[in-house]
Structure 1
């Protein structure tokens, strides 16, 4: 039985088309959109000199040829790193992008889908990141839907206080009761749980919750989400997910 009847599940590219390109690069985002993904998901940190940059980890070691914390390096230092060769030699020279560069790419491609930006404040404190992100995203009208998410409940509260019109989503593994508290206070209408949480606890879902599980990594998980018509799913391979959606939902 479907969790959400008649819902066409949005396929959201997790860090871009991560299965085929170096994650969180402009190339990965461009290729995900060209492949037909309904949405993009990415992550934002602050540099030492206050720039908003797109990278998942708190350190640069895994996805670049550098080392050290993102927040302890300047934008110029981060831009000098190679963010592509770790994935494959073909992608040598890819850079860590800024948030503004990603937004410009979305505009250039006339993107009208969902843009999910995770504020990475659950492990490192970036003072003022909420205000900077809100200021940039609300400065001009956008053709796409913006959702801001975080594992850090305090971050979501700050964003809500700054811009109550923005759509928020709570990322969580456990404890799920913190998310229920958020929904009771109307801070976050979206639930973004670990996919492993969903089959066991779906009975806890409040009515009208916007459910987008992460990271849907294999065909079994894809079938489960699509057969239950969740609002959206985050996947590393949007091309595969789109193929399964056509098979199951006919879209």
Structure 2
């Protein structure tokens, strides 16, 4: 009888130890570094880039952010389109800056991708903000701001009008390849996180340059091909976060995840994680 009791006690102790160790492992996994999933121009691998269809697709695929490219029309409206010309992603042609918003709203921005998206329109920044504020983060890229004097002020006004210039209430980040534009935006929106985009020419970025970026930006968002473990460490040492672009293959995402980046800008949100948002 005494022996049976001892066996019972030993089994009970082992069960408690197993439960504690499993719980600790679970908690450790729960604290694992979260990598932000940024849908590049929306879920542009699945729907025409920079359209409401692509942004809604990214939302349902449970991306953390949508990335949008902002330019300015001839009549000073903020439009969402990547190229400085209309030719590639619409049935129009010519420079964005030479067309009014009304003219651009007549264009088909979806058929080039698939007949399923025929009739998709070029959205405005205001339309995107009104549709997705509070639902998903928005990464705003100022595209070629040197072509559009005053675009920083207009973006700041659009955010302030919606009380979206306060990061505690909104997941808004602004970035640009034009670093002078980022500095200007800092003066207009001091509480909004900012990012500097860095192409291949920044492969040999120095610690001094990273320190300068850190004086006005929160993110160093490079072409994925310049990243290596040493550069990731140096960027993080300057207290900058890293959101590289643009992932279009699973292997690219896997490599970046191993490097310890903070976010991944991708055409295919499912390459970063696989948790589609249930439809309502």
- Is the pair's TM-score, using the shorter chain for normalization, greater than 0.5? yes
Superposed CA deviations along residues 117-137 of structure 1, whole A, max 9, x for unmatched, are 000126x52010000001111
| In structure 1, C-alpha distance between the alignment counterparts of 2:103 and 2:54, rounded to whole Å | 22
1:84-123 equivalences under 5 Å are 84-107=110-133, 110-111=134-135, 113-121=136-144
Counterpart CA distance in 1 for 2:249 and 2:228 is 15
Give 1 or 2: higher helix fraction: 2
Q: Say if 1:195 and 1:215, in contact at 8 Å, map to a contact too.
A: yes
Distance 2:175 2:181 in 1: 9
1:51 equivalent to 2:77? Answer yes
Q: Secondary structure at the match of 2:39?
A: strand
2:251 to 214, 220, 225: 220
Paired residues in the alignment total 235
**1:190-212 alpha-carbon deviations (Å, 9 max, x no partner):** 01000001127334324221110
SS of the aligned residue for 1:212 comes to coil
Max radius of gyration: which structure?
2
The alignment status of 1:196 with 2:218, answered yes or no, reads no
Residues 58-77 of structure 1 mapped to structure 2, 5 A cutoff: 58-77=84-103
1:17 shift after superposition: 0.8
- SS at structure 2 position matched to 1:141: coil
User: 2:15: which partner in 1?
Assistant: none
Counterpart of 2:48?
22
- Deviation larger for 113-122 or 164-173: 113-122
Structure 2 equivalent of residue 183 of structure 1? 213
- Counterpart-to-counterpart distance in 2, 1:206 and 1:18: 29
Comparing both chains, which one has the higher relative contact order based on Cα–Cα distances under 8 Å and sequence gaps of 6 or more?
1
1:230 aligns with 2:256: no
Q: Tell me, which stretches of 5 or more residues in structure 1 are unaligned? A: 245-251
Separation in 2, partners of 1:215, 1:80: 30
Counterpart of 2:157 in structure 1 is 135
Unaligned runs of 5+ residues in structure 2 are: 1-30, 276-280
